[in-house]
Structure 1
């Protein structure tokens, strides 16, 4: 192994978790490179709705701290929305109550029960980060490069063969084969993007026991409509019948959505796991391998908290 690689950190994976982790490491003074199989705009992160909220991620006692740490960062980034892609937007989580959430919820400023005018039924009103992932992933990459980092398109087939002092595994669903870790499973999410007919607030209504949910998120490029949560489904091809049902469910809440022109169909596979794997492994030759994957539907939500923990594990 060369002296150069001996002092280097390589982050494997270029989605939001990999990019954020690489930013934290590079800004801490490390010599960092990202090895990614595909550019950020083709990762699962790129098709995410982008609303900050812990969703399909465990364990809650750790997730809450990671999510709150990330929330604080996004609140700062929201002062430059055009640059960072982060805005603070009002909305309602339907069929959700404070007493059904973990202790973290009491520390989210302004989170309260929705009024009858805001939501018919039990719901929570909040002003939360809504992140335009196209802009945000580009901004993260530029911030990483500005800190001295480099991004390379490379396919990794063996983590232990990556020639660096520290390797950080942020491969998401790819960890299923790469580690290998069969506990990582896909939860398929399908979205429809339409021209926004004037919707300025977000709304969610999620049935955690079912495969369908109803939500809409106003982003600069259009109104994102969702969604699905199909366990162990691998298809990246949009299903026209599912898309039709998504539009119909959202239009039942906001009738003006029914006539909106469809801009795009999106499909992403959330990398779910019984619990996020965020831990340090010492390889037989003494090098360090840090795992940071299994973030389910909340990679954006916990990205900064997990990145800082991964950086501590990498350098500690």
Structure 2
């Protein structure tokens, strides 16, 4: 078994660390910010391949993660919930490739005028509860944590290094012109008793989603390609609130509990591969856009396979 350093403490990094440690590897997670300050904490965290190219490998990864989340939802302490909702489509030829991973999808009977939709059951994660649970599980497997910034892979120990640092991954790997930020802003409202979610990515007024959790409703959002702005803006929030209340009138007048903005690490395609040119195995795992939770368990399984494939070469 290898000593593996995972650079990145968001949902991808923590899940990769979990699966490597479960296989018996000695794992260290290195991150300047823990999960509470990562973009993962901002996410609505509903299973859906948003802002990610739906390649066959990505769809397989999403399907594996869907199955794992369904298992986790049986234990309320994980923070994973299974909820029904509607994916709204406003184009004549919507991409339905994601439905292959989701059993029991059906044509939605209630959608905005002029739209179609899919009704289904999806997992979602109450982010603070889920990420805290995941970190506790990882620690229970003996994973070590180092809170520091990594400027170079030369500063990282271990037989194998996994780079899962989101937008920070490119600098550690000598650059990546295909990686870019997509800014997302959300506002969290008090939950008036909603359980059904709505995803309306084709809304002509802007990206719109409503994701009820235990005590709040995550309302979004924005898809600001190329923006590095992590601050929230009142005019953007007002526009989000107008869209979500038009879609779900019960949200009108609900108090704002919190607000946030984060940068999705998007890429022309997810990068999950061994990176050549290093004296030891270095594995890249980043570029998941708005689908970090959606792909996390499947991606972690693929990282484990790459690490195991690298071990004979390392020993030789």
Q: TM-score range by the shorter chain?
A: over 0.9
Instruction: Decide which of 71, 78, 97 is 2:73's aligned counterpart.
Output: 78
Decide whether aligned partners of structure 1 residues 160 and 278 sit closer, same or farther in structure 2, where only a CA change above 3 A counts.
farther
Instruction: Decide which of 248, 251, 254 is 1:257's aligned counterpart.
Output: 251
Partner of 1:298: 291
TM-score by length of 2: 0.92
Instruction: Decide which of 5, 18, 41 is 1:10's aligned counterpart.
Output: 5
Partner of 1:51: 46
Deviation at 1:284, TM superposition (A): 4.1
Question: How far, CA to CA, are the matches of 2:211 and 2:101 in structure 1?
Answer: 23
Deviation at 1:107, TM superposition (A): 3.9
Question: How far, CA to CA, are the matches of 2:56 and 2:84 in structure 1?
Answer: 26
Partner of 2:172: 178
Deviation at 1:248, TM superposition (A): 0.9
Deviations 1:159-210 (A, max 9, x none): 24422100000000112333222321110000000111222210111128x7
Partner of 1:221: 215
Question: How far, CA to CA, are the matches of 1:304 and 1:200 in structure 2?
Answer: 25
Decide whether aligned partners of structure 1 residues 97 and 300 sit closer, same or farther in structure 2, where only a CA change above 3 A counts.
farther
Q: Secondary structure at the match of 1:167?
A: strand
Q: Secondary structure at the match of 1:212?
A: coil
**8 Å CA contact retained: 1:188, 1:233:** yes
Is 1:277 the counterpart of 2:271? The answer is: yes
Q: Could you tell which deviates more after superposition, 158-167 or 270-279?
A: 158-167
Deviations 1:53-109 (A, max 9, x none): 11111242221100000000000000012x111010000011168963354523411
Q: Secondary structure at the match of 2:231?
A: coil
Instruction: Decide which of 225, 232, 243 is 2:237's aligned counterpart.
Output: 243
Decide whether aligned partners of structure 1 residues 150 and 278 sit closer, same or farther in structure 2, where only a CA change above 3 A counts.
same
Q: Secondary structure at the match of 1:19?
A: helix
Decide whether aligned partners of structure 1 residues 155 and 43 sit closer, same or farther in structure 2, where only a CA change above 3 A counts.
same
Decide whether aligned partners of structure 1 residues 44 and 133 sit closer, same or farther in structure 2, where only a CA change above 3 A counts.
same
**8 Å CA contact retained: 1:94, 1:123:** yes
Partner of 2:28: 33
Alignment size in residue pairs = 307
Q: Secondary structure at the match of 1:100?
A: coil
Partner of 1:311: 304
Q: Secondary structure at the match of 1:177?
A: helix
Question: How far, CA to CA, are the matches of 1:105 and 1:274 in structure 2?
Answer: 22
Q: Secondary structure at the match of 2:274?
A: strand
Deviations 1:239-288 (A, max 9, x none): 10000011111111222312010111110100000011100124443x11
Deviations 1:127-166 (A, max 9, x none): 1001111111111111111111111102111124422100
Partner of 2:227: 233
TM-score by length of 1: 0.92
Within-5 A mapping of 1:66-215: 66-81=61-76, 83-95=77-89, 100-101=94-95, 103-115=97-109, 117=110, 120=113, 121-179=115-173, 180-207=175-202, 212-215=206-209
Q: Could you tell which deviates more after superposition, 123-132 or 101-110?
A: 101-110
